[in-house]
Amino acid sequence: MAVRQKIRIGDLLVSNNVITEDQLQQALAKQKSTGLRLGRTLINLGFIQEDKFLEFLSEQLNVPFVDLRRYRFDAATVQRLSETHARRFRAIALSERDGMLLVGMADPTDIYASDALEQILQQPVDIAVVRESELLATLDIVYRRTDEIAGFAEELDEELTEGQFDLANLAPQADDSDAPVVKLLKSLFEDAVQVRASDIHIEPDEMVLRIRQRIDGVLQEQIVKERRVAPALVLRLKLMSGLDISEKRLPQDGRFSLKVKERKLDVRLSTMPVEHGESVVMRLLDQTDGAVDLDNVGMADDMLMQFRRLIHQPHGLILVTGPTGSGKTTTLYGALQELNEVGKKIITVEDPVEYRLQRINQVQINPKIGLNFARVLRACLRQDPDILLVGEIRDQETAEIALRAAMTGHMVLSTLHTNDAVSSAMRLVDMGAEGFLAATAIKAVLAQRLVRRLCDNCCSDYQPDARERSWIQHVVGIPVTQSLTLQQPGGCHRCNNTGYRGRIGVFELLIINDEMADALRRSDASGFVKAARRSKGYQPLVYSALQEAIQGVTSLEEVFRVAEQVEEETDDATINAEATVADSTEVTESESIADETGVNPKPGNEGPSTPIANEDTEKTAPSEHIIPWKEDD
């Protein structure tokens, strides 16, 4: 049954020598100013570990402890308790047996909450103790707004059918929160924030309206409803973005801001005429936390140290390269955060400006009025900058201005849409830039990709088959034993049954040396590639991704995806079991450089920046703060 007696948990902790009387008094004093419960205050002060505190509560109150990360939820049972009540009482309905409902609570000593829950649920409850952090994360997952969104779409459809639709509700300043179109959009954005979606796609088909979200780089269908609700939805969004509502034949781009669940969002909106109406895609940029710190972009320690040294040089050009959606903007903003000091003037030229940064002069280009990258960049050089960020080098003129700026005392950061670091420097020469400019100005190229992080709640061990071991052996250049153990995705409520939750960056850093500079000067593409691959410490992207897989952070499937995307270096690393399986399966322990499942770098190479783990190495724990990687242009 639910806990009925009033518990003085502080006295119990002291009498059981878990904390001291002095620590209790400090916590009580702190509690008066914060309003937090005593247990949370003790944990925040570091007087007791959360797990130890919960274990103590479980024993003293004779209630079970439930690990929500491993719990298999029944959707119908969870919905017995509304989201409002679940968040108010820090509780979640877990299971029902013999007329008794088991409810997980962050604070099982809260008698008022347990009594209120019994009245709300109209049945007796048993209490289990759960971690508060896990509870809050789980509430965000289980109370998805899919049904709510579908309901509002149905309500809007009925309003349209009955001819009661009020155009005034579409105005951006409309305060009628009861209007179906307003409620539908509000729920769409709330759900997107809840699941960390980077984009919302609204797509009218012949018979239906399809709404999808891009989560961790993958599109997932949210709802499919009657197509007739689409025009009202698009019209409202156009008005919010300041677009021409009468123009349906041409694409339009707009932007607006809104606040969703205490998160400030900038929304970039694009409309495009399609066969059955207008398709709308919204890119969601969370401005609440600002740009990501460079420490959190996911680089290995030694690579991060090298990258920091490079960006702190007084002049030169550093390129960050990768296809659309590889996180280039996130990395560059992290570098700007690092360089943003009172004594430096920083100017960015972007299309568009995505995060607002203090002390930094940010310019958004506008090709319609002739304000392109090259024109703004020339003007920037007359503004006495120390550091320039060029959103993208797209043409010869921009390339030459950026290179000359880097040669004349400015640090220039920019991006290129190339697949790997080796091909990027020569791309500027291919654009028409002089080879001697590139050779003198370019200091380094950082290539990157994003791979999905395995959900730690449902991933499981597996051993690669002969074909996969053969591929790994080809990449690392040494034998791989049959006992190599990796992780594979599963599927649970925490990851929306995808097996993945969040993303991490994998990187390839190429520092330009004299041999590479000489090849650039001669515009010798072949010589540059050979020099790059011979350079000290160079490791291709696929090697970095493979490290993450062997450490249990991502899956081999994600590594294969990176390998397929990268040109040259990994194209010839395609699995070819027929040619090499015999070698990989006849390995003896004495022949293998690795321990059991360990894989070490090629002989004569510097090796990966982080040691590749063997089966005894603890899997890298996922960060509590999931990096908000941007789907950059």
pLDDT, tens digit, 9 for 90 and up, residues 27-64 = 888 878 887 778 788 888 888 888 888 888 888 788 89
Residue 415's φ and ψ, nearest 5 degrees, are -125, 155
* pLDDT of res. 165: 43
What does the alpha-carbon distance between residue 26 and residue 45 come to, in Å, rounded to a whole number?
Answer: 9
| Contact of 472 with 480, CB cutoff 8 Å | yes
Confidence of residue 539 (pLDDT cuts 50, 70, 90): confident
Residue 582 has pLDDT above 50, yes or no: no
Give the side-chain half-sphere CA count within 13 A for 268. Answer: 16
Higher-confidence position of 537 and 621: 537
Confidence of residue 151 (pLDDT cuts 50, 70, 90): low
Taking each helix axis from N to C terminus, what angle separates 514-521 and 525-534, rounded to the nearest 10 degrees?
Answer: 170
When pLDDT is averaged across residues 292-300 and rounded to a whole number, the result is 86
* pLDDT of res. 148: 64
* pLDDT of res. 588: 37
Confidence of residue 6 (pLDDT cuts 50, 70, 90): low
What does the alpha-carbon distance between residue 373 and residue 391 come to, in Å, rounded to a whole number?
Answer: 8
When pLDDT is averaged across residues 5-33 and rounded to a whole number, the result is 80
Helix %, strand %, coil % of the chain (to 5): 40, 20, 40
When pLDDT is averaged across residues 488-504 and rounded to a whole number, the result is 85
When pLDDT is averaged across residues 388-393 and rounded to a whole number, the result is 93
| DSSP conformation letters of 258-306 | EEETTEEEEEEEEEEEETTEEEEEEEEEE-SS-SPPGGGS---HHHHHH
pLDDT digits (tens, 9 = 90+) for 329-368: 899 999 999 999 999 999 999 988 888 888 999 999 988 8
Structure tokens at 141: 């997952």
Cα dihedral across residues 234, 236, 242, 246: positive or negative: positive
Residue 19 has pLDDT above 60, yes or no: yes
Radius of gyration of the chain, Cα coordinates, nearest whole angstrom: 28
pLDDT digits (tens, 9 = 90+) for 169-219: 555 544 555 677 888 888 889 888 888 899 999 999 888 889 999 999 889
| Contact of 440 with 325, CB cutoff 8 Å | no
Which segments of 65-199 does DSSP mark as H helices, in order?
75-78, 83-88, 111-121, 132-142, 146-161, 180-194
Cα dihedral across residues 204, 491, 330, 612: positive or negative: negative
Taking each helix axis from N to C terminus, what angle separates 466-476 and 556-565, rounded to the nearest 10 degrees?
Answer: 50
When pLDDT is averaged across residues 564-583 and rounded to a whole number, the result is 44
pLDDT digits (tens, 9 = 90+) for 590-605: 333 333 333 333 333 3
Confidence of residue 155 (pLDDT cuts 50, 70, 90): low
Q: Tell me the Ramachandran region of residue 491: left when phi exceeds 0, alpha when psi lies from -120 to 50, beta otherwise.
A: left
